[in-house]
Amino acid sequence: MRARHFFIAAAAIVATAALSGLTSAGPAEKGDKDAEVIATVNGEPVTKSEWAEIWKADQWFAPTLKTKPGYSDQMAGRPYEDYFFKEEIVKIRGMSQKYADALPQMKSTIDAAYQKAKAGGDFAQIAKEYSQDQGSAVKGGELGPKEFHDLVFPFNRVAFKMAEGEISEPLLTIFGYHIIKVDRVIPAAEGKGKMIDARHVLIRFPSPDAKKESEALAQNAKVEVLDKKLCKKLVSYCTDAS
């Protein structure tokens, strides 16, 4: 009788282990898919999860870009995805690759500013102490009211999702590392879209002209799209968009 109970218990354990293996395979497979490399920028991989996070966030703001002066001419009929890929991946990767040696110190400095801000420090004073944006640092990081298209990616999409008084985690743009504090959210009014009144701390890339340089780096970047299904959207980076 004891032997029979032993075999029943053992069978239950084996069945439970097998079932556990089956149910855990799902997340593992999902993780593998998220880590799938869909493209490379100068040999540096861009994963499916990285691009999905960017596109998921940016698509909600895509229509507002139509209000940006010269946007239609700049896009020349290309899809939104093509534009976002260049702005959020190719340009920023180009800058971070060129200034790779400076990144650790930049990140350490912005992290120190962020910790002070999250601990309740006066954001304006922190901006005056840390920020390398000469135009706003003396004003406590104040940028003034801005519409979405007035700001660089991904600063704009991060800031426009924030609530009043909220402080962002450090984020990287073509200019360097930022932290943002939104002082005021201004609802859309006649002739104007939604605006934010924000402050920031910027730790710069050591570039004399980040805007011009990031554009040049993007133009000269070697971009290979590995997931050919994306070629219908990333038309600037595929020799065959069929």
Assign 3-class secondary structure to 10-66.
HHHHHHHHHHHHHHHHHHHHHHHHHCCEEEEECCEEEEHHHHHHHHHHHHHHHHHHH
Asked whether residue 8 is assigned to any structural domain, the reply reads no
Do 191 and 162 lie in one domain? The reply is yes
Do 179 and 108 lie in one domain? The reply is yes
Do 90 and 122 lie in one domain? The reply is no
Asked whether residue 128 is assigned to any structural domain, the reply reads yes
DSSP 3-state percent helix, strand, coil across the chain (nearest 5): 55, 20, 25
Per-position pLDDT tens, the chain of length 242? 444 443 333 333 333 333 333 334 455 555 576 789 999 999 999 999 999 989 888 887 777 777 777 777 777 788 889 989 999 999 999 999 999 999 999 999 999 999 999 999 999 999 999 999 999 999 999 999 999 889 999 999 999 999 999 999 999 999 999 999 999 999 988 667 889 999 999 999 999 999 999 999 999 999 999 999 999 999 999 975 44
Sequence-ordered list of residues with C-beta below 8 angstroms from that of 176, at least 6 positions apart, any chain? 106, 132, 202, 203, 204, 205, 210
Do 239 and 119 lie in one domain? The reply is no
Sequence-ordered list of residues with C-beta below 8 angstroms from that of 84, at least 6 positions apart, any chain? 54, 55, 58, 62, 153
Do 178 and 224 lie in one domain? The reply is no
**Amino acid 240: pLDDT:** 59
Do 124 and 163 lie in one domain? The reply is yes
Asked whether residue 10 is assigned to any structural domain, the reply reads no
- The two three-digit tokens of residue 73, written as one number: 């001419």
Do 78 and 138 lie in one domain? The reply is no
Do 79 and 134 lie in one domain? The reply is no
Domain residues for 130? 103-204
Do 190 and 111 lie in one domain? The reply is yes
Total structural domains in the chain? 2
CATH of the domain at 166: 3.10.50.40
Do 173 and 112 lie in one domain? The reply is yes
Do 46 and 83 lie in one domain? The reply is yes
Do 147 and 221 lie in one domain? The reply is no
CB 36 within 8 A of CB 47: yes
Asked whether residue 21 is assigned to any structural domain, the reply reads no
The pTM score is: 0.82
